[in-house]
Structure 1
Amino acid sequence: MKENVSKPIYSLTPFTLLDYPHKSACILWFAGCNMRCLYCYNPEIVLGKGSLSFEKILSFLQSRKNLLDAVVFSGGECLLHKKIIDLISQVKKMGFLVKIDTNGSSPEVMQQLLNQNWVDYIALDYKAPKSKFQSITKSDLYDSFEETFDLILESRIPFEVRTTYHSDLLTENDLTAMIQFLESKNYVGNYYIQYFKNNVETLSKLNHSNNKIDCEKLSTPTIKISIRD
Protein backbone atom coordinates (compact mmCIF):
# COMPACT_ATOMS: atom_id res chain seq x y z
CA MET A 1 0.00 0.00 0.00
CA LYS A 2 2.80 2.42 0.85
CA GLU A 3 4.36 1.79 -2.53
CA ASN A 4 1.06 2.50 -4.24
CA VAL A 5 0.70 5.79 -2.35
CA SER A 6 4.22 7.02 -3.03
CA LYS A 7 4.09 5.83 -6.64
CA PRO A 8 0.42 6.15 -7.55
CA ILE A 9 0.79 6.23 -11.33
CA TYR A 10 0.86 2.95 -13.22
CA SER A 11 2.13 4.45 -16.47
CA LEU A 12 2.36 7.60 -18.58
CA THR A 13 1.25 8.24 -22.15
CA PRO A 14 3.49 11.17 -23.08
CA PHE A 15 1.43 12.50 -26.00
CA THR A 16 -2.10 12.20 -27.35
CA LEU A 17 -4.40 14.24 -29.57
CA LEU A 18 -7.40 11.99 -28.90
CA ASP A 19 -8.19 12.21 -25.18
CA TYR A 20 -8.78 15.93 -24.66
CA PRO A 21 -10.96 17.51 -27.36
CA HIS A 22 -8.90 19.78 -29.62
CA LYS A 23 -5.91 19.78 -27.25
CA SER A 24 -2.53 18.10 -27.07
CA ALA A 25 -2.13 16.18 -23.81
CA CYS A 26 -0.40 13.47 -21.86
CA ILE A 27 -2.24 10.83 -19.83
CA LEU A 28 -1.48 9.76 -16.27
CA TRP A 29 -2.83 6.24 -15.64
CA PHE A 30 -3.45 5.85 -11.91
CA ALA A 31 -3.33 2.35 -10.44
CA GLY A 32 -6.31 0.96 -8.57
CA CYS A 33 -10.08 1.18 -8.84
CA ASN A 34 -13.09 0.72 -6.55
CA MET A 35 -15.11 -0.98 -9.28
CA ARG A 36 -14.58 -4.31 -11.00
CA CYS A 37 -16.46 -3.79 -14.25
CA LEU A 38 -16.87 -7.07 -16.09
CA TYR A 39 -15.79 -5.56 -19.42
CA CYS A 40 -12.75 -3.66 -18.08
CA TYR A 41 -9.82 -4.07 -20.49
CA ASN A 42 -7.29 -2.45 -18.18
CA PRO A 43 -7.01 -5.20 -15.54
CA GLU A 44 -3.28 -4.59 -15.19
CA ILE A 45 -4.02 -0.99 -14.13
CA VAL A 46 -7.02 -1.76 -11.94
CA LEU A 47 -5.30 -4.62 -10.11
CA GLY A 48 -1.69 -3.45 -10.44
CA LYS A 49 0.57 -1.16 -8.46
CA GLY A 50 1.96 2.21 -9.37
CA SER A 51 5.47 2.60 -10.73
CA LEU A 52 5.83 6.39 -11.12
CA SER A 53 6.00 8.97 -8.34
CA PHE A 54 4.37 12.32 -8.83
CA GLU A 55 7.75 13.99 -8.40
CA LYS A 56 8.87 12.17 -11.53
CA ILE A 57 5.72 13.23 -13.33
CA LEU A 58 6.21 16.86 -12.32
CA SER A 59 9.72 16.73 -13.72
CA PHE A 60 8.33 15.37 -17.00
CA LEU A 61 5.65 18.09 -17.11
CA GLN A 62 8.21 20.78 -16.47
CA SER A 63 9.94 19.71 -19.67
CA ARG A 64 6.63 19.82 -21.56
CA LYS A 65 5.60 23.37 -20.71
CA ASN A 66 4.49 25.23 -23.84
CA LEU A 67 4.54 21.90 -25.72
CA LEU A 68 1.45 20.26 -24.21
CA ASP A 69 -1.89 21.93 -23.53
CA ALA A 70 -3.32 19.54 -20.99
CA VAL A 71 -2.87 16.66 -18.56
CA VAL A 72 -5.43 13.85 -18.44
CA PHE A 73 -5.88 12.13 -15.08
CA SER A 74 -7.18 8.64 -15.80
CA GLY A 75 -6.96 5.07 -14.47
CA GLY A 76 -8.18 2.96 -12.81
CA GLU A 77 -9.90 5.64 -10.80
CA CYS A 78 -7.65 8.64 -10.31
CA LEU A 79 -9.82 10.37 -7.70
CA LEU A 80 -9.27 7.57 -5.18
CA HIS A 81 -5.73 8.61 -4.43
CA LYS A 82 -5.03 10.33 -1.13
CA LYS A 83 -3.04 13.25 -2.53
CA ILE A 84 -4.92 13.69 -5.79
CA ILE A 85 -6.19 17.21 -5.01
CA ASP A 86 -2.69 18.43 -4.22
CA LEU A 87 -1.35 16.76 -7.36
CA ILE A 88 -3.97 18.34 -9.58
CA SER A 89 -3.44 21.77 -8.01
CA GLN A 90 0.27 21.59 -8.79
CA VAL A 91 -0.44 20.70 -12.42
CA LYS A 92 -2.87 23.63 -12.72
CA LYS A 93 -0.27 25.98 -11.24
CA MET A 94 2.13 24.85 -13.96
CA GLY A 95 -0.31 26.24 -16.52
CA PHE A 96 -1.82 23.02 -17.90
CA LEU A 97 -5.48 22.34 -18.52
CA VAL A 98 -6.76 19.39 -16.49
CA LYS A 99 -9.11 16.67 -17.68
CA ILE A 100 -10.50 14.06 -15.28
CA ASP A 101 -11.63 10.60 -16.40
CA THR A 102 -13.81 9.26 -13.57
CA ASN A 103 -16.38 6.64 -12.68
CA GLY A 104 -18.13 9.21 -10.49
CA SER A 105 -17.61 7.37 -7.21
CA SER A 106 -15.95 10.26 -5.32
CA PRO A 107 -18.39 13.19 -5.22
CA GLU A 108 -16.63 14.77 -2.21
CA VAL A 109 -13.34 14.97 -4.11
CA MET A 110 -15.09 16.23 -7.22
CA GLN A 111 -16.79 18.94 -5.18
CA GLN A 112 -13.43 20.18 -3.87
CA LEU A 113 -11.94 20.28 -7.36
CA LEU A 114 -14.92 22.17 -8.74
CA ASN A 115 -14.87 24.63 -5.83
CA GLN A 116 -11.22 25.45 -6.56
CA ASN A 117 -11.70 25.61 -10.35
CA TRP A 118 -8.94 23.04 -10.76
CA VAL A 119 -10.61 20.97 -13.47
CA ASP A 120 -11.34 22.09 -17.04
CA TYR A 121 -12.98 19.04 -18.63
CA ILE A 122 -14.50 15.82 -17.32
CA ALA A 123 -15.28 12.47 -18.93
CA LEU A 124 -17.84 10.72 -16.73
CA ASP A 125 -18.32 6.99 -17.17
CA TYR A 126 -21.99 6.00 -17.03
CA LYS A 127 -21.55 2.31 -16.39
CA ALA A 128 -25.13 1.04 -16.40
CA PRO A 129 -28.68 1.87 -15.41
CA LYS A 130 -29.38 1.64 -11.68
CA SER A 131 -31.00 -1.78 -12.11
CA LYS A 132 -27.79 -3.28 -13.50
CA PHE A 133 -25.13 -1.09 -11.92
CA GLN A 134 -24.14 -3.47 -9.15
CA SER A 135 -24.06 -6.57 -11.34
CA ILE A 136 -21.86 -4.90 -13.99
CA THR A 137 -19.53 -2.89 -11.74
CA LYS A 138 -19.48 -5.26 -8.72
CA SER A 139 -19.95 -2.19 -6.55
CA ASP A 140 -22.67 -0.37 -4.68
CA LEU A 141 -21.74 3.08 -5.93
CA TYR A 142 -24.64 4.16 -8.11
CA ASP A 143 -25.80 6.87 -5.69
CA SER A 144 -22.26 8.31 -5.62
CA PHE A 145 -22.23 8.34 -9.42
CA GLU A 146 -25.54 10.20 -9.54
CA GLU A 147 -24.33 12.73 -6.95
CA THR A 148 -21.18 13.34 -8.99
CA PHE A 149 -23.24 13.75 -12.16
CA ASP A 150 -25.41 16.37 -10.45
CA LEU A 151 -22.34 18.28 -9.22
CA ILE A 152 -20.75 18.37 -12.67
CA LEU A 153 -23.97 19.38 -14.37
CA GLU A 154 -24.49 22.20 -11.88
CA SER A 155 -20.91 23.43 -12.35
CA ARG A 156 -21.48 24.02 -16.07
CA ILE A 157 -17.91 23.12 -16.99
CA PRO A 158 -17.41 21.17 -20.24
CA PHE A 159 -17.95 17.43 -19.79
CA GLU A 160 -19.00 14.32 -21.62
CA VAL A 161 -20.89 11.19 -20.64
CA ARG A 162 -19.75 7.85 -22.01
CA THR A 163 -20.77 4.20 -21.75
CA THR A 164 -18.95 1.04 -22.75
CA TYR A 165 -21.37 -1.26 -24.56
CA HIS A 166 -21.28 -5.05 -24.51
CA SER A 167 -24.30 -6.77 -26.02
CA ASP A 168 -24.41 -9.43 -23.27
CA LEU A 169 -24.46 -6.79 -20.52
CA LEU A 170 -26.62 -3.97 -21.86
CA THR A 171 -29.71 -4.15 -24.03
CA GLU A 172 -31.22 -1.48 -26.22
CA ASN A 173 -33.88 -1.00 -23.52
CA ASP A 174 -31.10 -0.40 -20.98
CA LEU A 175 -29.60 2.29 -23.19
CA THR A 176 -33.03 3.87 -23.61
CA ALA A 177 -33.43 3.94 -19.83
CA MET A 178 -29.98 5.54 -19.48
CA ILE A 179 -30.86 8.21 -22.02
CA GLN A 180 -34.12 8.88 -20.18
CA PHE A 181 -32.10 9.36 -16.99
CA LEU A 182 -29.88 11.91 -18.74
CA GLU A 183 -32.94 13.74 -20.08
CA SER A 184 -34.50 13.78 -16.59
CA LYS A 185 -31.39 15.65 -15.44
CA ASN A 186 -31.69 18.11 -18.36
CA TYR A 187 -28.43 16.93 -19.86
CA VAL A 188 -28.02 18.21 -23.42
CA GLY A 189 -25.37 17.19 -25.91
CA ASN A 190 -23.46 14.11 -27.00
CA TYR A 191 -23.70 10.76 -25.29
CA TYR A 192 -20.75 8.62 -26.35
CA ILE A 193 -21.02 4.87 -26.71
CA GLN A 194 -17.74 2.99 -26.75
CA TYR A 195 -18.02 -0.47 -28.24
CA PHE A 196 -16.46 -3.26 -26.22
CA LYS A 197 -13.11 -4.33 -27.62
CA ASN A 198 -13.46 -7.98 -28.58
CA ASN A 199 -10.46 -10.31 -28.28
CA VAL A 200 -8.70 -8.40 -25.49
CA GLU A 201 -8.00 -9.42 -21.91
CA THR A 202 -10.70 -8.26 -19.50
CA LEU A 203 -11.43 -8.59 -15.79
CA SER A 204 -14.16 -11.13 -16.53
CA LYS A 205 -14.36 -13.67 -19.32
CA LEU A 206 -16.98 -12.41 -21.72
CA ASN A 207 -18.46 -13.64 -24.97
CA HIS A 208 -17.96 -11.82 -28.25
CA SER A 209 -20.00 -8.60 -28.27
CA ASN A 210 -22.33 -7.84 -31.14
CA ASN A 211 -21.40 -4.19 -31.50
CA LYS A 212 -24.32 -2.79 -33.42
CA ILE A 213 -26.36 0.14 -32.12
CA ASP A 214 -28.90 2.18 -34.05
CA CYS A 215 -27.72 5.66 -33.06
CA GLU A 216 -30.41 7.44 -35.03
CA LYS A 217 -33.16 5.43 -33.34
CA LEU A 218 -31.80 5.98 -29.84
CA SER A 219 -30.94 9.67 -30.21
CA THR A 220 -33.44 12.23 -28.97
CA PRO A 221 -34.01 15.91 -29.82
CA THR A 222 -31.62 16.89 -26.99
CA ILE A 223 -29.20 13.97 -26.78
CA LYS A 224 -27.20 12.69 -29.73
CA ILE A 225 -25.76 9.17 -29.54
CA SER A 226 -22.25 9.01 -30.99
CA ILE A 227 -20.13 5.89 -31.42
CA ARG A 228 -16.53 6.29 -30.32
CA ASP A 229 -14.13 3.52 -31.29
Structure 2
Amino acid sequence: MPAALDVATETPLARTRRARRIVRLLGEIHPDARIALHFDNALELLVATVLSAQCTDKKVNEVTPAVFARYPSAAAYAGADRAELEAMLRPTGFFRAKANSLIGIGAALTERFGGEVPGSLDALVTLPGVGRKTANVVLGHAFGTPGVTVDTHVGRLSRRFGLTDQNDPVRVEAELCALLEPRDWTIASDRMIFHGRRYCHARRPACGACALARLCPSFGLGPTEAGEAARLVRGTRGDVEALR
Protein backbone atom coordinates (compact mmCIF):
# COMPACT_ATOMS: atom_id res chain seq x y z
CA MET A 1 0.00 0.00 0.00
CA PRO A 2 1.50 3.39 -0.98
CA ALA A 3 2.28 6.00 1.64
CA ALA A 4 -0.17 8.88 1.90
CA LEU A 5 0.69 11.76 -0.39
CA ASP A 6 0.60 15.16 1.32
CA VAL A 7 -0.25 17.79 -1.30
CA ALA A 8 -0.41 20.54 1.35
CA THR A 9 3.39 20.68 1.43
CA GLU A 10 3.88 20.13 -2.29
CA THR A 11 5.75 22.88 -4.14
CA PRO A 12 4.29 24.30 -7.36
CA LEU A 13 7.10 22.67 -9.35
CA ALA A 14 6.48 19.30 -7.73
CA ARG A 15 2.77 19.57 -8.47
CA THR A 16 3.45 20.40 -12.09
CA ARG A 17 5.76 17.42 -12.44
CA ARG A 18 3.25 15.13 -10.74
CA ALA A 19 0.41 16.37 -12.95
CA ARG A 20 2.40 15.70 -16.10
CA ARG A 21 3.43 12.26 -14.86
CA ILE A 22 -0.22 11.46 -14.15
CA VAL A 23 -1.13 12.36 -17.73
CA ARG A 24 1.70 10.19 -19.08
CA LEU A 25 0.64 7.22 -16.96
CA LEU A 26 -2.98 7.70 -17.96
CA GLY A 27 -1.79 7.30 -21.54
CA GLU A 28 -0.29 3.93 -20.63
CA ILE A 29 -3.40 2.84 -18.76
CA HIS A 30 -5.77 4.01 -21.50
CA PRO A 31 -3.95 3.87 -24.85
CA ASP A 32 -7.37 3.82 -26.51
CA ALA A 33 -8.50 7.09 -24.91
CA ARG A 34 -10.32 9.21 -27.45
CA ILE A 35 -13.54 11.09 -27.87
CA ALA A 36 -16.39 8.60 -27.88
CA LEU A 37 -18.78 10.64 -30.04
CA HIS A 38 -18.98 9.75 -33.73
CA PHE A 39 -18.63 12.59 -36.24
CA ASP A 40 -17.18 13.44 -39.64
CA ASN A 41 -16.91 17.22 -39.42
CA ALA A 42 -17.04 20.14 -37.00
CA LEU A 43 -20.78 20.68 -37.35
CA GLU A 44 -21.52 17.05 -36.56
CA LEU A 45 -19.25 17.14 -33.52
CA LEU A 46 -20.86 20.36 -32.30
CA VAL A 47 -24.32 18.82 -32.62
CA ALA A 48 -23.28 15.55 -30.97
CA THR A 49 -21.68 17.39 -28.07
CA VAL A 50 -24.81 19.45 -27.48
CA LEU A 51 -26.87 16.25 -27.48
CA SER A 52 -24.49 14.55 -25.03
CA ALA A 53 -25.60 16.76 -22.14
CA GLN A 54 -27.29 14.51 -19.55
CA CYS A 55 -27.07 11.62 -22.00
CA THR A 56 -24.66 8.76 -22.64
CA ASP A 57 -22.34 8.90 -25.63
CA LYS A 58 -23.68 5.50 -26.69
CA LYS A 59 -27.23 6.83 -26.94
CA VAL A 60 -26.06 9.95 -28.77
CA ASN A 61 -24.23 7.77 -31.31
CA GLU A 62 -27.43 5.80 -31.86
CA VAL A 63 -29.41 8.96 -32.59
CA THR A 64 -26.99 11.09 -34.60
CA PRO A 65 -26.74 9.11 -37.87
CA ALA A 66 -30.37 9.91 -38.69
CA VAL A 67 -30.01 13.48 -37.41
CA PHE A 68 -26.89 14.11 -39.49
CA ALA A 69 -28.54 12.69 -42.60
CA ARG A 70 -31.67 14.79 -42.13
CA TYR A 71 -29.80 18.00 -41.29
CA PRO A 72 -26.50 18.08 -43.21
CA SER A 73 -25.88 21.83 -42.87
CA ALA A 74 -26.32 24.78 -40.55
CA ALA A 75 -29.12 26.06 -42.79
CA ALA A 76 -30.93 22.75 -42.43
CA TYR A 77 -30.95 23.09 -38.64
CA ALA A 78 -32.04 26.72 -38.88
CA GLY A 79 -35.00 25.72 -41.03
CA ALA A 80 -35.86 22.52 -39.16
CA ASP A 81 -39.44 21.67 -38.31
CA ARG A 82 -39.37 21.85 -34.53
CA ALA A 83 -41.75 18.96 -33.92
CA GLU A 84 -39.82 16.68 -36.26
CA LEU A 85 -36.47 17.60 -34.74
CA GLU A 86 -37.77 17.14 -31.20
CA ALA A 87 -39.07 13.69 -32.09
CA MET A 88 -35.65 12.68 -33.40
CA LEU A 89 -33.91 14.02 -30.29
CA ARG A 90 -36.36 12.60 -27.75
CA PRO A 91 -34.18 9.55 -26.85
CA THR A 92 -31.36 11.86 -25.70
CA GLY A 93 -33.50 13.58 -23.05
CA PHE A 94 -34.22 17.30 -22.63
CA PHE A 95 -35.15 17.15 -26.29
CA ARG A 96 -37.06 20.44 -26.39
CA ALA A 97 -34.13 22.44 -25.01
CA LYS A 98 -31.71 20.61 -27.30
CA ALA A 99 -33.91 21.27 -30.32
CA ASN A 100 -33.98 24.95 -29.39
CA SER A 101 -30.19 24.97 -29.17
CA LEU A 102 -29.69 23.24 -32.53
CA ILE A 103 -32.14 25.50 -34.34
CA GLY A 104 -30.50 28.54 -32.74
CA ILE A 105 -27.01 27.26 -33.58
CA GLY A 106 -28.05 26.70 -37.18
CA ALA A 107 -29.45 30.22 -37.44
CA ALA A 108 -26.38 31.80 -35.80
CA LEU A 109 -23.94 29.90 -38.00
CA THR A 110 -25.90 30.81 -41.12
CA GLU A 111 -26.31 34.47 -40.24
CA ARG A 112 -22.93 35.23 -38.67
CA PHE A 113 -20.40 32.64 -39.81
CA GLY A 114 -21.30 31.80 -43.38
CA GLY A 115 -22.75 28.47 -42.34
CA GLU A 116 -19.41 27.21 -40.97
CA VAL A 117 -18.48 26.31 -37.41
CA PRO A 118 -15.99 28.92 -36.18
CA GLY A 119 -12.60 27.76 -34.98
CA SER A 120 -12.17 30.02 -31.96
CA LEU A 121 -13.41 29.69 -28.41
CA ASP A 122 -14.62 33.28 -28.26
CA ALA A 123 -16.82 32.75 -31.31
CA LEU A 124 -18.08 29.30 -30.31
CA VAL A 125 -19.33 30.38 -26.89
CA THR A 126 -21.58 32.98 -28.55
CA LEU A 127 -23.65 30.16 -30.07
CA PRO A 128 -26.88 29.14 -28.30
CA GLY A 129 -26.34 26.37 -25.79
CA VAL A 130 -22.56 26.32 -26.25
CA GLY A 131 -20.33 26.85 -23.23
CA ARG A 132 -16.61 26.45 -22.73
CA LYS A 133 -16.86 22.68 -22.27
CA THR A 134 -18.59 22.15 -25.60
CA ALA A 135 -16.34 24.69 -27.30
CA ASN A 136 -13.18 22.97 -26.08
CA VAL A 137 -14.46 19.58 -27.27
CA VAL A 138 -15.00 21.00 -30.76
CA LEU A 139 -11.74 22.92 -30.84
CA GLY A 140 -9.66 20.00 -29.62
CA HIS A 141 -11.17 17.26 -31.78
CA ALA A 142 -12.37 19.02 -34.92
CA PHE A 143 -9.78 21.80 -35.25
CA GLY A 144 -6.75 20.38 -33.43
CA THR A 145 -6.66 23.40 -31.12
CA PRO A 146 -5.66 22.28 -27.61
CA GLY A 147 -8.19 22.78 -24.85
CA VAL A 148 -9.06 21.27 -21.48
CA THR A 149 -12.62 19.97 -21.34
CA VAL A 150 -13.89 19.96 -17.76
CA ASP A 151 -16.80 17.56 -17.50
CA THR A 152 -17.87 15.78 -14.32
CA HIS A 153 -15.08 13.20 -14.64
CA VAL A 154 -12.30 15.71 -15.26
CA GLY A 155 -13.47 17.92 -12.41
CA ARG A 156 -13.74 15.01 -9.98
CA LEU A 157 -10.36 13.49 -10.87
CA SER A 158 -8.60 16.85 -10.80
CA ARG A 159 -9.74 17.35 -7.22
CA ARG A 160 -8.96 13.77 -6.18
CA PHE A 161 -5.49 14.05 -7.68
CA GLY A 162 -4.97 17.22 -5.66
CA LEU A 163 -4.36 19.29 -8.79
CA THR A 164 -7.05 21.79 -7.81
CA ASP A 165 -9.46 22.48 -4.98
CA GLN A 166 -11.84 24.38 -7.23
CA ASN A 167 -15.39 23.33 -8.11
CA ASP A 168 -16.06 25.92 -10.80
CA PRO A 169 -15.24 24.31 -14.19
CA VAL A 170 -13.68 27.50 -15.55
CA ARG A 171 -11.28 27.68 -12.60
CA VAL A 172 -10.49 23.97 -12.85
CA GLU A 173 -9.73 24.47 -16.54
CA ALA A 174 -7.41 27.37 -15.79
CA GLU A 175 -5.49 25.46 -13.13
CA LEU A 176 -5.07 22.37 -15.31
CA CYS A 177 -3.90 24.50 -18.22
CA ALA A 178 -1.28 26.06 -15.96
CA LEU A 179 0.00 22.64 -14.90
CA LEU A 180 0.03 20.83 -18.22
CA GLU A 181 1.76 21.46 -21.51
CA PRO A 182 -0.65 22.88 -24.12
CA ARG A 183 0.00 19.96 -26.47
CA ASP A 184 -1.47 17.65 -23.79
CA TRP A 185 -4.60 19.63 -22.91
CA THR A 186 -6.99 17.77 -25.21
CA ILE A 187 -5.64 14.27 -24.69
CA ALA A 188 -5.37 14.81 -20.93
CA SER A 189 -9.11 15.45 -20.82
CA ASP A 190 -9.84 12.32 -22.88
CA ARG A 191 -7.63 10.18 -20.65
CA MET A 192 -9.14 11.53 -17.44
CA ILE A 193 -12.64 10.89 -18.76
CA PHE A 194 -11.71 7.29 -19.58
CA HIS A 195 -10.14 6.85 -16.15
CA GLY A 196 -13.18 8.32 -14.45
CA ARG A 197 -15.47 5.94 -16.28
CA ARG A 198 -13.30 2.87 -15.78
CA TYR A 199 -11.53 3.27 -12.43
CA CYS A 200 -12.13 6.47 -10.50
CA HIS A 201 -15.90 6.24 -10.09
CA ALA A 202 -17.82 8.85 -8.16
CA ARG A 203 -19.01 6.46 -5.44
CA ARG A 204 -16.48 3.63 -5.19
CA PRO A 205 -13.20 4.24 -7.01
CA ALA A 206 -11.13 1.15 -7.74
CA CYS A 207 -8.16 2.42 -5.72
CA GLY A 208 -6.46 -0.95 -5.24
CA ALA A 209 -6.38 -1.59 -8.99
CA CYS A 210 -5.19 1.88 -9.99
CA ALA A 211 -1.69 2.43 -11.33
CA LEU A 212 -1.81 6.04 -10.15
CA ALA A 213 -2.08 5.15 -6.47
CA ARG A 214 1.37 6.49 -5.53
CA LEU A 215 0.59 9.82 -7.18
CA CYS A 216 -2.90 10.23 -5.74
CA PRO A 217 -3.59 11.84 -2.35
CA SER A 218 -7.10 10.35 -2.43
CA PHE A 219 -5.92 6.75 -2.43
CA GLY A 220 -8.16 4.85 -0.02
CA LEU A 221 -11.46 6.49 -0.92
CA GLY A 222 -12.35 3.16 -2.49
CA PRO A 223 -11.32 -0.45 -1.77
CA THR A 224 -7.55 -0.83 -1.59
CA GLU A 225 -7.45 -4.63 -1.72
CA ALA A 226 -6.51 -5.56 -5.28
CA GLY A 227 -9.08 -8.28 -5.82
CA GLU A 228 -12.00 -6.26 -4.51
CA ALA A 229 -10.91 -3.19 -6.43
CA ALA A 230 -10.46 -5.13 -9.67
CA ARG A 231 -14.12 -6.09 -9.60
CA LEU A 232 -15.02 -2.40 -9.78
CA VAL A 233 -13.01 -1.75 -12.96
CA ARG A 234 -15.16 -1.33 -16.06
CA GLY A 235 -14.48 -1.80 -19.74
CA THR A 236 -10.66 -1.86 -19.91
CA ARG A 237 -8.35 -3.38 -22.47
CA GLY A 238 -6.27 -5.96 -20.65
CA ASP A 239 -4.87 -5.82 -17.16
CA VAL A 240 -3.08 -2.87 -15.63
CA GLU A 241 -0.31 -3.22 -13.08
CA ALA A 242 -1.68 -2.14 -9.72
CA LEU A 243 0.07 0.32 -7.40
CA ARG A 244 2.84 1.27 -9.78
Q: Same fold (TM over 0.5)?
A: no
TM-score (norm: length of structure 1) = 0.28
Task: Looking at secondary structure, tell me which structure has more strand per residue.
Answer: 1
Task: Looking at secondary structure, tell me which structure has more helix per residue.
Answer: 2
TM-score (norm: length of structure 2) = 0.27
Rg: which structure is higher? Answer: 2
Higher relative contact order (CA 8 A, sep 6+): 2
